[in-house]
Amino acid sequence: MSEDVDMIDVNSSTTKENHPPTHSKESDATSKTTTVTKHTPWLEKYRPTKLDDIVGNEEAVSRLAHFARQGNLPNIIISGPPGCGKTTSVLCLARQMLGESFREAVLEMNASNDRGIDVVRTKIKMFAQSKVSLPKGRHKIIILDEADSMTEGAQQALRRTMELYSKTTRFALACNASDKIIEPIQSRCAMLRYSKLNDEQLLKRLIEIAKAEQVSYTSEGLEAIIFTAQGDMRQAINNLQSTVFGFGHVNSENVFKVCDEPHPILIRDMIGKCLKCELDEAYKAMNHLWRLGYTAEDILSVIMRVTKTYEMSEFMQLEFIREIGLTYMRVSQGVQSQLQLSSLLARLCQKAKTNAH
């Protein structure tokens, strides 16, 4: 192995590096030690290991911290959009509550495991029945990550299991769509809702990582990453790493090359042209993007995000957003043609013109 490789013992509490946690008994054999190399994904390298380090969703995280301090965890469901820290929070909570016993007392199952009704009947039940000596008042924790992909039958089978073993075992579910969790399970759990992270929260974390990795960056570069990530921390960190590995320097040009989105500056220009009723010029800009190979959805999603922050009268902004939304609907129904985008530009010019009079 080369010199940029450090071997880290994940059991050692003295290690300062953040590292991927090992959670299930199954993974024990393969992950006694985790190798952090120059090429370890930053997502894993900078995955928070303590609840305090989790960015955003302060209220929900403080409730989790409260459970951890008290030692009494109810069954919980954490729901929210991708990449906002749900899995990370559950793992931090389990680690904080169980400390040394984390390995024996936690069963983690995610969508990569088979989680049909049989697994609930056998594996989950067996784990719930197994004896693990824990400090007084602590419980074993079963983490069901991506729980919205569990079949309904499996969820039904879980109902009674949750109650029968509630003296010794608690369940922590994480999911994107809480409505895919059947009502009876929801009623047995405390629900915590996570939301997307805001720009400041993303920026703060990106700067921390960029400093730790000695990345050369410009503030426009980080802004571009935040623009493309849309509140998803996973995507933000991934895009930062991809840009650094691809180009060595994070500026807005490089970020948009890596993320392969239409550059917002071009889109801004195009909207500016519509506001001045210059349809021909606006069409040229759109045609240019189309020939670069972007789909109607790619272009529309950037048009929408740019319009939301474009300085124009509120009335006009609302009119524009409505037209963009309508076009988005048609495109998502399958009409992916350039004609749709041209018609959008024509309607935007028309709005600008009627409003000017």
Ligand X SMILES: Nc1ncnc2c1ncn2[C@@H]1O[C@H](COP(=O)(O)OP(=O)(O)OP(=O)(O)O)[C@@H](O)[C@H]1O
Strand partners of residue 125:
none
Provide the minimum distance between the beta carbon of 201 and ligand X in the complex, in angstroms, as a whole number. 7
In whole angstroms, what is the distance from residue 309 CA to residue 317 CA? 9
Of positions 76, 84, 267, 306, contacts ligand X by CB under 6 A: 84
- Asked if 65 touches ligand X (CB under 6 A), the answer is no
What size, in residues, is the chain?
357
Question: How far, in Å, CA of 45 to CA of 58, rounded?
Answer: 22
Tell me the C-alpha to C-alpha distance, in Å, between residue 310 and each of 262, 263, 282, 302.
16, 15, 16, 12
When the beta carbons of 221 and 231 are compared against ligand X, the nearer one is 231
Asked if 82 touches ligand X (CB under 6 A), the answer is: yes
Residues 182-221 that bind ligand X (CB under 6 A): 205
Closest chain position to ligand X (CB): 85
Query: Which listed option, Mg ion, ligand X, none, makes contact with residue 55 (CB within 5 to 8 Å by class)?
Result: ligand X
Which residue number, 233 or 303, has a Cβ lying nearer to ligand X? Answer: 233
CB atoms within 10 A of CB 329: 10
Q: Which is nearer to ligand X, 83 or 264 (CB)?
A: 83
Give the three-class secondary structure for 193.
strand
User: Does residue 47 interact with ligand X by CB under 6 A?
Assistant: yes
Tell which one of 60, 65, 67, 83 touches ligand X (CB under 6 A): 83
Task: Please report the beta strands in 60-138, taking only residues with DSSP state E, as ranges in sequence order.
Answer: 76-79, 106-109
Please, which residue, 92 or 274, has the CB nearer to ligand X? Answer: 92
Q: Pick the closer one to ligand X by CB: 134 or 237.
A: 237
Q: Which is nearer to ligand X, 107 or 270 (CB)?
A: 107
> Cα angle at 340 between 235 and 305, to 5 degrees?
30
Name which position in 8, 10, 43, 259 contacts ligand X (CB under 6 A). Answer: 43
Q: Which residues pair with 216 in a beta bridge?
A: 249
d(CA 189, CA 183): 10
* Maximal CA-CA distance, the chain: 78
Contact between 87 and Mg ion (CB under 5 A)?
A: yes
| Residue 88 binds which of Mg ion, ligand X, none (CB < 5-8 A, kind-dependent) | ligand X
55 binds ligand X (CB under 6 A): yes
Is the CB of residue 118 less than 8 Å from the CB of residue 146?
Answer: no
Candidates 82-90, 132-140, 177-185, 282-290: pick the segment binding ligand X (CB under 6 A).
82-90
Ranges within 126-185 binding ligand X (CB under 6 A) = 174, 176
64's CB contacts (< 8 A; 6+ apart) are 51, 76, 89, 92, 93, 192
| CB 172 to ligand X: min, Å | 12
When asked if residue 237 is in the footprint of ligand X (CB under 6 A), the reply is: yes
C-alpha 240/C-alpha 225 separation (Å) is 7
Closest CA to 27 of 81, 91, 79: 91
Residue among 177 and 339 whose Cβ is closer to Mg ion: 177
82 touches, from Mg ion, ligand X, none (C-beta below 5 to 8 Å by class): ligand X
| Contact between 48 and ligand X per CB under 6 A | yes
The count of residues interacting with Mg ion (CB under 5 A) is 1
Closer CB to Mg ion, residue 87 or residue 252?
87
Q: Spell 6-15 as b/e; 16+ CB within 10 A means b.
A: eebebeeeee
Residue numbers at the binding site for ligand X (CB under 6 A): 43-44, 46-48, 54-56, 82-88, 174, 176, 205, 233-234, 237
